[in-house]
Chains A and B, each alone.
Chain A
Amino acid sequence: MQWNDWLTILCVVPGAVLALGGAIGVLRMPDFYTRLHPAGKSDTLAQLLIMLGLSFQVFDEGTTTPGLTLSRLILISAILFVTAPTATHAITKAAHLDGLKPWEPGHPVPPEASSSADHDADLAARPDSPPADSDEPTRPSATPGHDV
């Protein structure tokens, strides 16, 4: 094993551990807003570490076009670094505008409606959906089934 292989292992293994930890966090956290934390933050760091570790593999002797591979790696990492938190923020804002309440300690954990697959059933199964934002003009509150 060469020197760059050790650098790759040093970066890639913590990245894989972070990715697995983020997945366990998304599965185990109690409600939606807490699930955003492992999904938004640990994934970004995990992809950054894995891409950094893989970029050391470019310095192998057998690589035919190292510059092209390295530039594509940097491009993919930069795109993920910008778009993954932006998408998480967009999901958070959509959920907040939809009236989803954060879970507070002391209250019961929101139930897992495993059988309801469509949006209306999810809205009906939500524990406390406030009708506060139903008079917002940009939202289609007259949509059938959308009023809770």
Chain B
Amino acid sequence: MSWVLTGVALVLLIAVGLILLRALRGPTTFDRILAVNTMGTKTVVLLVVIEFAHGRADFLDIALLYALLNFIATLVILKYVEYRRLD
């Protein structure tokens, strides 16, 4: 069972690499924000897959924390880009 999950993790890594290419190419700021947000979602899934592939029981907590942080970070970056301040 572990080899299937390792293959899924590799596919997710390839997907994160493609989205990172989009984040580097731009062309607008919102493309980069969207790419980083999508990368965060895929990272959460990747952490959960690694947890089940290798039996690391603490990766689920890290994934839970990252899922919460990713949403807040996206909103904060959007607000900063729109208003140039955070208050």
Q: Does A8 contact B (CB under 8 A)?
A: yes
Asked whether A76 lies within 8 Å of B82 as measured between CB atoms, the reply is no
| Contact A27/B21 with A16-B12, A50-B45, A83-B70 known, Cβ cut-off 8 Å | yes
Contacts of B57 on A, CB cut-off 8 Å? 69
- Kindly state the separation between the CA atoms of A54 and B8 in the bound complex, as whole angstroms: 11
Asked whether B82 lies within 8 Å of A97 as measured between CB atoms, the reply is yes
Asked whether A88 lies within 8 Å of B31 as measured between CB atoms, the reply is no
| Contact A143/B84 with A47-B41, A126-B28 known, Cβ cut-off 8 Å | yes
Tally of contact residues, B, Cβ under 8 A: 50
Contacts of B21 on A, CB cut-off 8 Å? 27
Asked whether B83 lies within 8 Å of A140 as measured between CB atoms, the reply is yes
Chain B residues engaging chain A, CB cutoff 8 angstroms: 1, 4-5, 7-8, 11-12, 14-16, 18-19, 21-22, 24-31, 33-35, 37-38, 41-42, 44-45, 48-49, 52, 57, 60-61, 63-64, 67-68, 70-71, 74-75, 78, 81-84
Q: What would be 23 A-B contacts, judged by CB atoms less than 8 Å apart? A: A15-B8, A16-B12, A19-B12, A19-B15, A22-B38, A23-B19, A23-B42, A26-B19, A26-B34, A27-B19, A32-B31, A32-B34, A73-B48, A76-B67, A79-B68, A88-B34, A90-B78, A94-B78, A98-B30, A98-B82, A112-B26, A122-B28, A139-B82
